[in-house]
């Protein structure tokens, strides 16, 4: 692996206590700083997204939230997701449409990263590299665009599935 590159399973980049190259800001702190009203249900949903060890779709987020608050509904989930997206605090991913047309959400990290999806087992790996940062700079220079968002998803067969099919 290239020097400076980082790999993490699911939605783990920026969650390590030892690795500091990438971080995830506190969604709740960001909302409070921006003067957003924090309801009990919004606090619950934001906490679930912030603490989730994997990428969540809206229905999974609702299912987890209902364990703590049976009265929470899907409209509240979508309003909270919309608020977080508009404020630039979460990213929306399709993860190669491995499970149909679902969209997944993760707290935005301090540095862009790629997602690699296994077509066999559905594993998701996050990958961050200085090479990706250089590519973005090159694209910006060549195109004249000021890059605000970069998303790259790759699909293939993971190391574990490659071993079992060999």
The answer, yes or no, to whether residue 59 has pLDDT greater than 90, is yes
Cα of 162 vs its chain's centroid, Å = 25
Q: What is the mean pLDDT of the chain?
A: 84
Q: For the residues 31-55, what does the mean pLDDT come to?
A: 91
CA atoms within 13 A on the CB side of 15: 17
Nearest CA among 95, 111, 109 for reference residue 153? 95
| Distance separating alpha carbons of residues 82 and 99, to the nearest angstrom | 21
The answer, yes or no, to whether residue 40 has pLDDT greater than 90, is yes
Q: For the residues 51-64, what does the mean pLDDT come to?
A: 91
The answer, yes or no, to whether residue 2 has pLDDT greater than 70, is no
Strand partners, 104: 57, 93
Strand partners, 66: none
> Which pLDDT does position 30 carry in this prediction?
87
DSSP designation for 106 = E
pLDDT in tens, 12-37: 555 545 455 666 678 888 889 999 99
DSSP designation for 115 = E
Higher-confidence residue: 127 or 140? 140
With beta carbons less than 8 A apart as the criterion, state whether 96 and 155 touch.
yes
With beta carbons less than 8 A apart as the criterion, state whether 72 and 66 touch.
yes
| Distance separating alpha carbons of residues 165 and 161, to the nearest angstrom | 6
Element (H, E) at 131: helix 130-143
| DSSP secondary structure letters along 7-25 | EEETT-TT--SS--SS---
Q: What domains can you pick out in the chain, each with its CATH number?
A: 1-21+111-166 (3.30.1490.190), 25-108 (1.10.10.10)
> Which pLDDT does position 65 carry in this prediction?
97
First to last CA, the chain: 22
């Amino acid at each position: 692996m290239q020097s400076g590159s980082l790999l993490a399973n699911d939605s783990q980049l920026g969650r390590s206590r030892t690795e500091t190259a990438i971080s995830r800001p506190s969604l709740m702190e960001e909302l409070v700083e921006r003067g957003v009203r924090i309801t009990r249900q919004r606090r619950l949903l934001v906490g679930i997204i912030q603490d989730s060890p994997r990428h969540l779709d809206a229905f999974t987020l609702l299912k987890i939230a209902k364990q703590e608050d049976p009265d929470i509904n899907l409209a509240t989930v979508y309003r909270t997701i919309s608020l977080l997206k508009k404020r630039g605090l979460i990213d929306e991913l399709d993860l190669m449409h491995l499970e149909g047309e679902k969209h997944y959400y993760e707290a935005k990290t301090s540095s862009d990263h790629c997602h690699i999806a296994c077509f066999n087992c559905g594993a998701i790996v996050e990958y961050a590299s200085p090479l990706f940062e250089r590519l973005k700079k090159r694209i910006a220079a060549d195109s004249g665009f000021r890059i605000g968002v970069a998303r790259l998803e790759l699909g293939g067969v993971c190391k574990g599935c490659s071993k079992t099919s060999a």
